[in-house]
Structure 1
Amino acid sequence: MKTPSDGFSIGLLAEAAGVGVETIRFYQRKRLLPEPERPRGSIRRYADDDLARVRFIKSAQRLGFSLDEVSELLKLEDGAHCDEARSLAERKLEDVRVRLADLLTIESVLSQLVARCGATRGAVTCPLIASLQGRP
C-alpha cells in the first residue's frame, strides 16, 4: 500500500499493518509506537516508518517475543547491535525448546489417557477425569 501524500490516518495505518485501531493505540500506551503530534484542527498522521514499526512488532510477536522483549528489540532495530539481538534470540530459542519439551510430555500423557478412555467400558471411572482429580 502506498502512503498517502499526507500520511496515514490511524485507521489506514491499522489496515495497512493488518491490525486493529485498538492495537495501534495499545502499542502507543506501551510506548512501542510514538504518537504523532495532532496539528491544530486536524487528525494525527502516521508515516511509512510507523507502518514499518508496527510490522516489526507483529513479526517479532509471531516469533514468540513478548512485548517487553519487542521493546528491547526495537532499541536494537538499527541493526548495529547484532550481538545483543542474537543474545535475545538465543534466550527466546531456549524458551521455545523448553516449551516444546513440555508440549511433547503433555502430548504423551494425553495420548495415553485418551487411549485408556477408549479402552474403558461400563461403569468404570473415566481415566482422564480421575487423572485430573489426582486419583489413580
Structure 2
Amino acid sequence: MEEEIQALQSRVKELEQDLSLAQNELSEMESLEHEFEQEKILLSAENTTLNYKKMELEETLSKERNKLMQIKDNLASAQKALLEKNSLLQEANAHLAEQISKVSSESKYNEVIGGVSRLEKGNGITSPEITSVSLNLFF
C-alpha cells in the first residue's frame, strides 16, 4: 500500500506540475490575448485615422478637380472671346484697308485737280487761282 500511496503522491506531483504548466500557459495565453486586443484597438484607431485622411484627400481631390474644371471653362471662354476679337479685328482691318484704298484713290484725284497743297494759307476752294485751274481742267 505504501507503494500505492507513493505512486499516488508521485502522480499528484505530476498532476500539480501539469496544472502549474497549464496555469502558466493559460496566463501566457491571457497575456497574449490582452496584447492582441490592445493591438486590435490600436489598428482599429489607425484604420479610423487613415479612413478619415482618405476622406479628406478625396474631398481635396474633388475640390481641385472642380477648380480645374472651372479653369478649363474660363480658358474656353477666353479662347472664344479671343476668337471673336480676332474676327472683329479682321473685319476692322478689312474695313480699314477698304477706307485706305478709297482715300488713296481720292488723293490721286485731288492731285489731278490741284490737291490739298493749293488750299494752304487762306486759299479757299473758290480762290481765283484754283478756280481758274479747275475750270481749265473741265473746259
Structure-2-length-normalised TM-score: 0.30
The structure whose residues are more often helix, as a share, is: 2
Return the structure number with greater relative CO, CA threshold 8 A, min gap 6: 1
Greater C-alpha radius of gyration = 2
